[in-house]
Structure 1
Amino acid sequence: MKNDFDFIKEKFESSGVKAPDSLDKDAVLAMLEDKQPAPIPLRPKRRWPAVVAVAASLVIVASLGIVLGSRFIGNKPQTAPPTTVIADIKSLQTFDSYNDVEDAVGSIRKLNQKKDSRMFEAINSDMAADGYSEVGNSASAESGNASSSSHSETYKQVEGVDEADIIKTDGRYIYCVENRYNAALIKIFSADGDSSRLITTLDASKQSSSTADEAALSDSDAYYYDYRFTISDMYLRDHTLVLLCMDHRDAEETVTEAQVYDVSDINSIRFLGDHSQSGYLASSRMIGDTLYTVSSYYPYEDRVIPYCNEKEIPCNCIYSLPNPNTESFLVVSSFNTRDFSAQSESKALLGAVSDIYCNENNLYIYASHYDVDDDGWFNFFSSKVTTRIVKVNLDDGLEFTAFGEVKGYVKDQYALDEYSGNLRVATTCERNGKDVNNLYVLDENLSVIGSVNGFAKNESIKAVRYLGDTAYVITYEQTDPLFVIDLSDPAAPAILGEAKISGFSTMLIPIGDDLVLGLGYHTENEDYTDLEVQEGFKLALFDVSDKANPKVLDSKSYVEYSSEVQYNPKALVYNPDRDDYIIPLNYAHYGWRDYIDAEDTESADGASEDKDVIYGGMLNFTVRDGKIKVIEQYRCDRTNEIERCIYVGDTVYMTHRGENYDGDLTIETKKYQ
C-alpha cells in the first residue's frame, strides 16, 4: 500500500507539475515536529504560468497546509506554534501583457464553467430522483450660519483615518445621502436647532462621467438606468465634499466614481472633478486629502482588463493571488482630492475582496477563500475556509508588500488590527461540524508567528476590539462570553479570562483601561422551547481591570427595540465634551390583529387591541461610577424609524427616511438634556 507521500508525489508527476520542495517527505516530517521552514518572500514580476496545472497543484498544497496547521487537543483552547502556509502560496504573480491577463481570466472562467456544469447536473439528478421534471423549468445560461465648534464626527476604527458615512456635518450644515428614483441626492440642512431647514439639494447623477447612452438602452436595461446611479456614502473635510457613487451603466458594467465638490459657498457649490475605477465599491478610507478606494470588478466579455478613469490599468500593475477560484479583480486606487494635478494611482489583483482594515501606513484587503469541491460547490462550512489578506503599503504610493492566509472567516474590519508591526486577526471556522474561534498574530510579512486556536466551541465571533496588547472577543451561542486575550508576547498569545452574560454584543467600546462597553442584542428563550431568539437591544458594561477575572458591572435591556448600531458602528455618536453617547433606538411591536378575519375582532383573552406599534427615537447615555446611566430616552412623533443621530452644539439631529424607497428624508431636532 502506498503511503501518503508517495500518493501525493504520483499526483504531481501525473499532472506534469514538479512538486514544491516544501512537500518533500523530510520537510513535511520536520514541520510535523514543529520545525518551521523559512517563509517564501513575495516575488514580484513573475510571469503567469499555465493556470490549470498550477491550480491543481496548489489545491493539494493548500489543503495539506491547512491539515498540517490544525492544532486542537480535545475541547481545550491551545496556544499553538505558528501554522505555516506552504510554498508558493506566499507569492503574488504578475503579468507581462494584457493577453496574459485575459488568458488567466479565461482559464479560471472555463474551469468554473466546468464545475458549474457538474453542479447543475448534480442538481438536476437530485431533482429527478425526487420526482421533479426538467420540462418547463429550464433557465437560461445568460445571465450662512456660524459654525459650531462642537459637533459630531463619524465613528472611526483608527484615529487619523476617516471613514465614509451617509451623514456628515461641519457644524454649520448637515449633509445627508438620499437615493431616489433616477436621482442620487445630497440634502443639505442648516444646523440651526429648532429652526433647521433644508438649504439646497445636490444631484450627483448630473455630474456623472458615465458613457451610457440613455436612448440606446434596451427595455431590459431600463430598470438599471432608472436606478443606475447611486451614492454609497461621502466624506467631508474642511470645505471639500467627496461623494462615493456607483454607476450601474447596464446589467453587466458597474463603475465606482468619486466626485469632489467645493462647498465653501453653500449657495454656489462647485464641482471640481472626479475619479473613477471599474467595479462595485467595496470600501474606502481617507487620510488627509488622499482618498483610498477599493472596488470589486467582475470582467465581462467585452472588457476583461480593469480600468481607472476610463484607461486600462497597466499590465505591470495587475497581480494575481495564487490559485484564485474567482475571475473577479479587486481594484485599489489613491486619489488626491485637493490637488487634481497630482497623479492618481491604481493597481488590480485577480482575487476577491470582502472588506478592508486601514491605518496611516498600511491598507489590508481581506476576503474569504472557500474550498470548491469536485461538483463545483463552494463549501462555505468546510474547515478549509480561509481568509486571504493582502498588505498594501501607503508610505509611497500603493505597493503590494505581503500576502498571507489564516484559517477561518472574519466577521468585520474590527477583527483586524495592526500593533507594533504585527497584524492581529480573529476568525471563526468549522471543525467536526462545530464552530470554533482563533486569534492569529502575523508579522510584517504576514507570516503567522503566534495563535490561540479552538476557543469557544460551538460559538461564533460577534465582536472584537483591540486595546494595545490586549484583545477583547465576544462569542455567542446561548450566552455572551467576553474573552480577554493577552497579546503582549506575539509568539504566545493566551486567554487570560472570560465573563458571561445573556444576549450578545456586536460592538465593543474601550472606556479607559479598565472598562469595556458592549452594544448588541437582548435575547430570550422562545416560549416552551430552548430556542433563544433576539428580542431587543442591550447594553453591557464589563470591568476588565483584572484581566484574568473580568466581570459584568451593569447591563440594560430594551425589549422590542432595535438600533442600527447593532450592525453598523457608524451609527454610534460620541460627544467628548459631555462624555456621553447617542444612538438611534426604535420601537416595534407586531401584533396579530391585522392577520385575523375582519369580523373576528375579539379573542377569548380580550387581546383584540393587540395592534402593530412602531415609532422612532434615540437613546442618550453615559458611563459613570461603573454604571450605565441613561440621560434621556426620546420618542419621536413620527412612526417611521430613526436611521442616524448627530449633534451640533446643544442640539441632537435625527434623520427619518420615508415609508418607501422614494420617500423624503427629513430631520427632527431635540435639545440635549
Structure 2
Amino acid sequence: MLLSREFKVFPLTLLAAWPIGCAGEAPGDEASIQVAADEEADRAERGGASPALVRADSCEDVASTVKARLIEAMEAQLESSLSEAMAAATYSCENYGEEEEEEEEEEEEESDAASEYSETNTQVADVDEADFVKNDGGYLYVLADGRFRVLDAWPAAQAHALSSVKIKGTPRRMYVHADTAVIYSSLDEMVGDGGYGECTYGYDCDFTGDGHKLQITVLDISNRARPRRIREVVFNGSYLNSRRVGKDVHTAVVFPELEVPGLTYWPDSLPQTYCGLQDDGFTQTEVQALFEKVRLANLKRIEAAPLSKLLPSVTDARLVGNKVHIKRGPLSSCSEVYLAQTGDTRGFLSLVSFAIGEQTPVEASTIMSRPGAVYGTKDSLYVAVRHWRDPDDAWFAGLEEDVTDATTVHKFALAPGGGAAEYAASGVVKGRVLNQFAMDEHHGAFRIATTSGYLPDPNVHSTVSVLREQGSRLVEIGRIDDIAPTEDIRSVRFRGDVGFVVTFKKTDPLFVLDLADPAAPGIKGELKIPGFSTYMHLMDRDHLLTMGYDADDQGDFAWFQGIQLQVIDVSDLANPEVLDKEVIGTRGSTSEAATDHLAFTYFKARDLLAVPMTICEGGGGGEYGDLMTFSGLLVYRVTVDGGFTLLGGVPHEEPETPQAWSGKCNNWWTDSASKVKRSVFMEDWVFSIAPDLVNVASLDDLAHPAVSIPLTGH
C-alpha cells in the first residue's frame, strides 16, 4: 500500500545551496535549507532538468550538491519505509493480505616477428581499445588465471610460454605499447552495490562497471622473459572503459553512488512488520514522529560527513630508481569538478589520463554523472548515459512530452602528453543507446542512434540524432525519427557521411543513412532479409561483413536461429544487396563475437575471418539444438567475389553425443557463451585463445593444432 499524501510529513528536499565547508561543518538551520530546496524545485518545474554540467566554484559548491543528492536519496528511501509502517499501523494482522606475486625467471629469448599479423579489432583507426589479449607479431600477451603472461609466438610452430607475473586482484584488460604493459584489474574490495560487470552489447545490460576497486598495474617488459612492476595506481572506483592514443592512456573510472555510513531507515523502537502495529499500541501519529526522528538523525550524519570521503581518490605508487614514491589524495580539486543538474545522478565519473613511459602523476577530469557507454576518437571521448523518466522528478527540457527514456551525452576533449582531458559539453537525445558503435563523430558532428520504448510495445521506434558542440552544449541540429516502428536497434555502424542501422522484430531491415548534410539527414536505402545483425564490420568502402542471427518468421514475431554471417554490397547506397550468407548451426549456437567486437577477427591482409563458435545442431523453430557438435574457432576465407569459404575449425572441446550430453546449447542470443574468446592471425597461422588454453594451428591443418599452451598455473 502506498502512503497517501495526507500522511507525508516531510518533503523530498533538493538542496541547491548549502553553506557547508570543505571539511563538512554543520549547515545553517533547517528553514534556510528548505528555502533553498523550494527554490531549486521551482526552477526544475519551470525549465525542466538540464543535461549540462556546471563547474563547481568551491568545495562548498561540491559539498552542497553532493549532500543534496544524499538527502534526496535518503528521504526517498525513508518515505518508502514510512509507507510500510503507516500501512502496518492501519491494518491488523488478522486481515492483512486481503489487499495486496610472483615472477618466473627465465633467460630472455630473441624472437622474430611475423611479417603480417592481426591486431585488436577497434572501432576507430589508431585508437586502441583495452583487451585481455594483445599481439605485436612476435609475442602474444594474455591475461589468464590471475597473471600477465608473455608467449613467445613466432615462429608459430615453436610457440611457447615465456614468462608470467601475478597481478593483484583479477586482471581483466590491458594495453601493450612498445616495452610497457598497462593492466586493469578488479580488486576484491567492493565500492558500492556492484554492477553488471562486463557489458559490451547493451541490449539487456547497462554500462556500470563491476563495482570493484580498480587497480592499474604498469609493467616494464623490455625484457619479455622478466617483466618488472614499475607502477600501481589504485582508485576508490571501478573500471568503465578506456582508450589509448599513441602513448596516452585515457581511462573512464566510475565511482559508486554516494553513501554515508550509519544511515537508518526504520526506528529502532518500532517493530519491523507489515501489519499489527496498531495492535502493539502504535498510532499513525506516533509512527510519523518516530520516522521524523530517524530523518533528523540521518540529516546530521550527512551534514557531518567529510567531503574527502565522498570524492574520487587515488593512490599512486611509482618506482623511481630503487625507491617507491607513493602519492595519495583526491583525483580532482573541488574547483575542477563539474556538477550535474539531473536528480538521478549521485555519483562521479573521472576520465583519468597518463602517458606511458612518463613518471608524472595521473591527471583527471571529474564530472558528476552516472556511468554509460563510451566512444572515443583521437581527440575526444564521449560518455552516453541512459535515463528513465520518473514522474516525481523534473524531466529534460526540450524533449517531447511522450519521451520516457533519454540519453545524455558528455564530451571530453583529450589532451596529448598525458594531460587532463577537459570537459567540453553535454547534450540530450530521446531514446537509449545500444553500445559504442551507435555513436560516431565526423567533421565536428556527433551522430547517435537510439531506440525509444521496449518490445512488444507497438510505439517502439528508433532515432538517429545529429549534435554539434555550441559552447558547453551539444545541440541537436538534425534528426531522423520514427525509424522502423515496432522494431528496435540491434546494430549500428557509421562510415564517414553514411550510417548503417539494423533493426529487428521479425525481419532484418538494414537502413542506409545519408548523413552528408548534418542538418538534413535521411534514409537513403533499405534492405529486408531474415534474421538480424548484432555487429557490422567495415570490410572495405563498399562492403559490410556482418554477424548476427538467422530467424524463423512466425508472423507477428520471429525465433532467432543459428549464427549468421553476411557480405553486403553497399556500393549503391539506395540499393544494398546481400552477396553471400553463411548460417552456422541452429538455435542455441553462440559466439563471443556476436556481442563483443573484440572477439571478431577479420585479417584483411589475407582475406581471413576467425570467429569463436559453439555450434548446436537439431532443434528448430522455438526449440534449441540438442547437441553441441563443435566448440572452438572457425576460420573462413572471405572475399567479395567468392563469399565465405570454410577453411576449418580449431577444436577446444569434445563434441557432445547422445550418450555424453552436457547441456551446452541453451544459449540466449544476447549471452555469448563460446569456450574460445579471442583469436590472432600471424601469416598462415592462427592462435585460438580460451581462458585455459591457446591452440596454435596452421591454416593447412586447423583440426590438429601444432602447439597447445596452457594458461593455468605458473
Report the TM-score when normalising by structure 1.
Answer: 0.73
CA 1:650–1:334: 2 relative to 1, 3 Å: same
The aligned runs of 1:69-468 (5 Å cut-off) are 89=50, 91-118=52-79, 144=109, 145-179=111-145, 184-191=146-153, 192-205=155-168, 229-250=169-190, 252=192, 254-298=212-256, 299-301=258-260, 303-309=309-315, 310-312=328-330, 313-340=332-359, 342-374=360-392, 383-395=403-415, 397=419, 398-430=421-453, 434-445=459-470, 446-468=474-496
Q: Secondary structure at the match of 2:437?
A: helix
Aligned to 1:141: none
CA 1:339–1:549: 2 relative to 1, 3 Å: same
2:607·2:639 contact (CA, 8 Å) conserved in 1? Answer: no
The offset of 1:328, in angstroms, is 1.1
The offset of 1:629, in angstroms, is 1.9
Partner Cα separation in structure 1 for residue 511 and residue 593 of structure 2: 22
Q: Secondary structure at the match of 2:636?
A: strand
The offset of 1:121, in angstroms, is 6.8
Counterpart of 1:541 (choices 567, 576, 579) is: 567
Partner Cα separation in structure 1 for residue 244 and residue 313 of structure 2: 21
Partner Cα separation in structure 1 for residue 687 and residue 479 of structure 2: 44
Partner Cα separation in structure 2 for residue 510 and residue 450 of structure 1: 25
CA 1:250–1:519: 2 relative to 1, 3 Å: closer
The offset of 1:632, in angstroms, is 1.3
Per-residue CA deviation, residues 323-379 of structure 1 (Å, 9 max, x unaligned), is: 241211111111112111x343112111112121111111112211222233999xx
Partner Cα separation in structure 2 for residue 393 and residue 57 of structure 1: 30
Per-residue CA deviation, residues 120-147 of structure 1 (Å, 9 max, x unaligned), is: 6779999999x99999xxxxxxxx2322
Q: Please report the RMSD computed on the Cα atoms of aligned residues, expressed in angstroms.
A: 3.3
Counterpart of 2:651 (choices 628, 636, 660) is: 636
Uncovered stretches (5+) of structure 1, i.e. residues with no partner: 1-14, 18-48, 64-88, 136-143, 206-228, 592-609, 658-664
**Structure 2 letter corresponding to 1:643:** K
Partner Cα separation in structure 2 for residue 193 and residue 261 of structure 1: 25
The offset of 1:531, in angstroms, is 5.0
**Structure 2 letter corresponding to 1:300:** E
Partner Cα separation in structure 2 for residue 158 and residue 284 of structure 1: 13
Partner Cα separation in structure 1 for residue 356 and residue 393 of structure 2: 47
Counterpart of 2:43 (choices 31, 37, 57) is: 57
Counterpart of 1:646 (choices 680, 689, 693) is: 680
Partner Cα separation in structure 2 for residue 285 and residue 257 of structure 1: 16
The offset of 1:119, in angstroms, is 5.1
Uncovered stretches (5+) of structure 2, i.e. residues with no partner: 1-13, 17-34, 98-108, 193-210, 262-308, 316-327, 396-400, 620-624, 655-673, 701-714
The offset of 1:535, in angstroms, is 2.3
**Structure 1 letter corresponding to 2:566:** A
CA 1:654–1:635: 2 relative to 1, 3 Å: closer
The offset of 1:97, in angstroms, is 3.4
Partner Cα separation in structure 2 for residue 174 and residue 307 of structure 1: 34
**Alignment partner of 1:519 is 2:482:** no
Partner Cα separation in structure 2 for residue 56 and residue 646 of structure 1: 58
**Structure 1 letter corresponding to 2:507:** T
Q: Secondary structure at the match of 1:414?
A: helix
The offset of 1:117, in angstroms, is 4.2
The offset of 1:655, in angstroms, is 1.6
- Identity of aligned pairs, percent? 27
Partner Cα separation in structure 2 for residue 637 and residue 244 of structure 1: 27
1:98·1:305 contact (CA, 8 Å) conserved in 2? Answer: no
Partner Cα separation in structure 1 for residue 476 and residue 573 of structure 2: 25
Partner Cα separation in structure 1 for residue 310 and residue 685 of structure 2: 51
Partner Cα separation in structure 1 for residue 626 and residue 497 of structure 2: 51
Pairs aligned (count): 537
Partner Cα separation in structure 1 for residue 45 and residue 147 of structure 2: 47
**Alignment partner of 1:573 is 2:601:** yes
Aligned to 1:79: none
Partner Cα separation in structure 1 for residue 610 and residue 369 of structure 2: 39
2:218·2:230 contact (CA, 8 Å) conserved in 1? Answer: yes
1:308·1:346 contact (CA, 8 Å) conserved in 2? Answer: no
Per-residue CA deviation, residues 502-544 of structure 1 (Å, 9 max, x unaligned), is: 1100111223332222111122257xx9652222210122222
Per-residue CA deviation, residues 236-283 of structure 1 (Å, 9 max, x unaligned), is: 112211101222425648432221111121222111213333311110
Per-residue CA deviation, residues 269-298 of structure 1 (Å, 9 max, x unaligned), is: 111213333311110001111110001101
**Structure 2 letter corresponding to 1:296:** V
**Structure 2 letter corresponding to 1:163:** E
1:371·1:382 contact (CA, 8 Å) conserved in 2? Answer: no
The offset of 1:626, in angstroms, is 4.2
Per-residue CA deviation, residues 185-227 of structure 1 (Å, 9 max, x unaligned), is: 223322143433322221111xxxxxxxxxxxxxxxxxxxxxx
The aligned runs of 1:610-629 (5 Å cut-off) are 612-613=627-628, 615-629=630-644
Range with bigger deviation, 506-515 or 279-288: 506-515
Partner Cα separation in structure 1 for residue 595 and residue 85 of structure 2: 38
CA 1:119–1:478: 2 relative to 1, 3 Å: farther
**Structure 2 letter corresponding to 1:173:** Y
**Structure 2 letter corresponding to 1:648:** M
Partner Cα separation in structure 2 for residue 287 and residue 565 of structure 1: 24
Partner Cα separation in structure 2 for residue 533 and residue 120 of structure 1: 43
Q: Secondary structure at the match of 1:585?
A: strand
Partner Cα separation in structure 1 for residue 85 and residue 645 of structure 2: 58
Partner Cα separation in structure 2 for residue 626 and residue 126 of structure 1: 71
1:115·1:375 contact (CA, 8 Å) conserved in 2? Answer: no
Partner Cα separation in structure 2 for residue 297 and residue 496 of structure 1: 42
**Structure 2 letter corresponding to 1:292:** H
2:650·2:695 contact (CA, 8 Å) conserved in 1? Answer: no
CA 1:433–1:503: 2 relative to 1, 3 Å: closer
CA 1:58–1:232: 2 relative to 1, 3 Å: farther
CA 1:266–1:491: 2 relative to 1, 3 Å: same
CA 1:186–1:615: 2 relative to 1, 3 Å: farther
**Structure 1 letter corresponding to 2:685:** T
Partner Cα separation in structure 1 for residue 637 and residue 340 of structure 2: 46
